[in-house]
Amino acid sequence: MDDGTAGCGPDAGAPALGTPFHRSGDADPAGPYADGPWRNYFLILLDRIPTPIAVCRADGEVLIANPAMAGQWGAAPGQLRGRNLLDLFRPRDEAQLLRIAEAVRLGRRSRYPVEVHWRSASDGSEREGELTVDPVGDPSVQPPALLALLRVRGTAPPPAPPRGTASPVEARILALAAGGATTASIGTALGLTVDGVNYHLTRLARRWRVQGRAALVARAYVLGVLSPESWPPAPA
């Protein structure tokens, strides 16, 4: 990373945040980890990181969001795919967006902070924080993908769910599993990798001290995590 003044070869025609561009040849959202097994490792790690993270196109369209980022809107990661960061967050200073746009246009690689605010899905309160936007991927690919990390102000990291409860993402996984969905189809529906789904199921199994998917589903109904009156199965 540079200090925002050195470039990797200017490209006057490269679009920036908020500007549509031609989709062919876009950078893989896994950025520098796009080749071979590293891509899957990157996506697994993204699922597990408690920091809200999203990878988006240069125009702000979300390619991948991790559960922590999706949780800011009470959504599953896959539900943010295709939405735009500029629709989710409101910048305090438009000049900060212009700085990112100019950096992308000139092919610069650095970290750019953006002060943002948004409305919490959990209680409707106004929240604020800082998005750190970082162009990533092969420097020869223009425009690059953008890695956005959110630092929420005035809040502590969410505590681990108590033994008898499940997080929103875990509840959605259990609902799909109760309806007979495969691990792969659960991952597709929620924007998780297969390993990410298995990671959540394994954590639930340890927390609830049960073995096997059938036992997990049964336990979810007993604990009230899944609604006994819904079909297809749904979180309570």
pTM above 0.85, yes or no: no
List the single range of 35-44, 105-114, 118-127, 205-214 with lowest mean pLDDT: 35-44
Over residues 179-228, the pLDDT tens digits come to 999 999 998 888 888 888 888 898 899 889 898 899 999 999 998 999 98
For the chain, the distance separating the N- and C-terminal CA atoms, rounded to the nearest angstrom, is 46
What's the pLDDT band for 33 if we cut at 50, 70, 90? very low
Over residues 46-88, the pLDDT tens digits come to 777 888 999 888 888 898 888 888 888 878 888 888 898 888 8
**Where do the H-state alpha helices sit in the chain?**
37-48, 67-70, 77-80, 85-88, 94-106, 168-178, 183-190, 194-208, 213-222
Q: Phi and psi at residue 38, in whole multiples of 5°? A: -65, -30
106: left (phi over 0), alpha (psi -120 to 50) or beta: alpha
**Sign for the pseudo-dihedral over CA of 119, 123, 129, 134:** negative
Over residues 223-232, the pLDDT tens digits come to 899 998 889 8
